[in-house]
Each structure stands twice: as structure tokens, then as C-alpha cells.
Amino acid sequence: MWSFQHYASQAGIKGEPTYDNLTPHKKAVLTTKFGGISSHAMTVARERGVLYADFSHSEHQLDRVETGDIVSVYFLGRQAKVFLEKSPLRSIHDTNPQVSFDIRPSEQGYVSVKTSTFLVGTKPYTNDFLLYLNAATEQEWRFEPFDGIMGGAFVNSDSRNILMYMSQMRGQYHQWSFSPLEQCRVRGYKSLTKKQLMPLIEGYVKHLKVK
């Protein structure tokens, strides 16, 4: 397994990295596994003069929060409430211009996409596809992550779905492909027609190749 120091060095961060010195502009410290009034995390929060909230034994509480997301923290007495704010969608070419894509045909005319590098989290890729879909279809799409596995369903305003299955080689790359329509229906999802889906995939390939 890659170490925290390995990721930091890959990102060009020099010296001995810690979660504290990697986040010099933090506004709050949240813990979801081990915390409390005597924890090191709370000591750091006190020293930095920022908010602290502990959600002990709730390590999956913030699973959907990734690097670059904006959260708001509010306190009602000693109770903390954390909200994931809606952020504007941005192209992968703007957020991570260093990433390129190896695109190969897969079964039934679909494609498989493999990245040239590894990002912490998959949201830059799913947000990029959402941005593309909204522009290409003039509809509002949303992303619903699968439970327990990488990837999820992209759902339009007509409740039609495009399924994206994702995998990763930690520290090296991400990879994803689209589920054939037949598999989509077998799993109980309403799908687009093939006539609707294929132009979207072809346009998406062109979108990924444009720098």
C-alpha cells in the first residue's frame, strides 16, 4: 500500500508532510473515527484557532466529500451540523490539466477510459461527465454513486440512466467504462435508447481529447 508520504512526494510536496502543514488555510477540523476533547486533532484546532467537531465511530459519515468540495459547519450548542455545499461544475481540463486519457473501444461500441495519472478521489471525472452531459443534452443531470463500489448512475430529468463503472490502481490511474444498455435494464435502471446514448459517448470521447 502506498504511504501518505509517497502521495505527497508524487504531488511535489517537499519536507515531512502532515495533515496539518498540508492544509495551512483550514477553517475547521472534523474527525470521524477517533477524536474527542483530548485528541491531537482538537489540540491542532485550538492552536490554529479553528472550529472542531468530532463524529467518533462514524468514519463513513463524510464518504461523499472529496478534495475540492466546499462544506459548511454550524453549531447549535454543542451539536455540530455539516452541510456539503453545491459547487459549480468544472471541466477536468480546467481542474486537472495534467491528466490525459487512453481511450479504447469496448464491447458493443462503448469505450473504456484510463487516466495517465492518479487523483485522490473520482469527483473531478464524474463532475466533468456531468458538465458534458448538461451541455450536450440541455438537460439537468445528477450523479448517484453506487453503494459499496466505485462508479454510479448519471440520471437525467426524465429518470433515464447512464451507468459508469470505475476502478483504480491506487497511486497510478483510474479507469472507467459504460454499462451496455441491456445490463442497465437487467439491474432495474431505466436507460436511454442506443440511438440516444451512442452520440453522447462519441461526443464525450471528443471532449476528453480536447485540451
Read out DSSP for the chain?
A: ---HHHHHHHTT--S---TTTT-TT-SEEEESSS-STTSHHHHHHHHHT-EEEE-TT-TTTTTT--TT--EEEEEETTEEEEEE-------HHHH-TT--EEEEE-GGG-EEEEESS--SSSHHHHHHHHHHHHHHHSS--EEEE-SSSSEEEEE-TT--EEEEEEEEETTTEEEEEEPPHHHHHHTT--B--HHHHHHHHHHHHHHHH--
Last residue in a domain, options 57, 84, 111: 84
* Residue 137 belongs to domain spanning: 92-209
- Residues 77, 16: one domain? yes
If asked whether residues 172 and 127 sit together in one domain, one would say: yes
pLDDT at residue 25 greater than cutoff 60: yes
Looking at the structure, tell me whether residues 167 and 102 fall in a common domain: yes
| Closest to 119 (Cα-Cα) out of 172, 73, 183, 54 | 172
pLDDT digits (tens, 9 = 90+) for 167-187: 999 889 999 999 888 888 888
How would residue 22 be classed by pLDDT, with cut points 50, 70 and 90? Answer: confident
Assess whether 42 and 132 both reside in one domain: no
- In this prediction the pTM is 0.73
Does one domain contain both 67 and 100? Answer: no
Q: How much is the pLDDT for 58?
A: 75
Q: 111: pLDDT confidence band, cut at 50, 70 and 90? A: very high
Query: Comparing 21 with 128, which gets the higher pLDDT?
Result: 128
| In a shared domain, residues 179 and 97 | yes
Mean pLDDT for the stretch of residues 182-201: 91
Q: Assess whether 108 and 69 both reside in one domain.
A: no
On whether both 97 and 40 belong to a single domain, the answer is no
**Tens digit of each residue's pLDDT (9 = 90 or more) over 33-42:** 766 677 888 8
Do both 149 and 53 map to the same domain? no
The whole-number pLDDT of residue 175 equals: 96
Number of domains, the chain: 2
User: Residue 1: what pLDDT?
Assistant: 42
**pLDDT tops 70 at residue 188:** yes
Together in a domain, 129 and 188: yes
